[in-house]
Amino acid sequence: MPELPEVQTIVSDLKKVLPKLKIRDVWCDFKKMIKQPESFAQFKKMVIGKKFLDVKRKGKNILINLSENKTLLIHQKMTGHMLYGKIDPQDRFIHLVFTLSNGKHLALSDIRKFAKVLICETDRLDTLKDIKDIGPDPLDKTFTFKKFKEIFSKKKGVIKNGLMKQEIIAGIGNIYANEILWEAGIHPFKKIQKIKKEEFEKIYKAIKKILKQGVRMRGDSVVDYRDAFGKKGRYQNFHKAYQKEGEKCSKNDGGIIKRIKETGRSAFFCPKHQKL
């Protein structure tokens, strides 16, 4: 699933090319991905003729502000990614295409068809469940260590699951949760209640460091993620834990990366410096 760095990369790309362009037409072959309004015919009527004003990110959501107080919200889910340019009509994974006033296209490619798209009034965006029910952005300047510690002060469960819950912190998924905890030296299944203040400080610093690295490297293409221009990210070349099962820990501490699977997700860690 595209996580914060991947979504931010796409948002940054689209922010450079979309503003001032207009939507001339829209096509969709999987109308179930349009969650609001109720019909694709209504959706089409609401977007055609609108001008792109800005592109933002909220958690893993792409927010495309349009003229006349309209905003497109796109969540790419497991395998979706936005593409800009000339779209290959033979690409069977493209399910939504906006034809733009410069003759190019904005498209949503999604192998598993889990992505969701909706349109709402811009001044009512904060009332959407997709927006109001997610936690703070870990790369926002207001996300201080004090705020981070307060968020987890009354939480239960294991730390890896806590980092991935979007209602607690927005944007972190399985890849970056594994990398963050490897960097911080914290076992992914350590109980939140047993984590000391100095350990929380290490996790907080690792969140900032790892996510910023992910953004600089334009995301992680270990699976099928591509940026808005169809290019792969580079973060997959720098994994320290994720999908490194059986390899020596790069801290040279004698540890071998292990993998534990729980509730369908894998945790990768070094048993030497990430002790439970």
Active site residues: 2-3, 60, 265
- 8 Å CB contact between 102 and 21: yes
Render 59-82 in DSSP notation, one character per residue.
TTEEEEEETTTEEEEEE-TTTEEE
- The C-alpha atoms of residue 124 and residue 63 are separated, in whole angstroms, by 13
> Residue 198 has which token pair?
């100095």
Cis amide bond preceding 37, omega within 30: yes
Measured from the Cβ of residue 226, the count of other Cβ atoms closer than 10 Å reads 20
Judge whether 234 and 226 are in contact, CB under 8 Å.
no
Tell which residue, 58, 75, 242, 267, has the closest CA to residue 162.
267
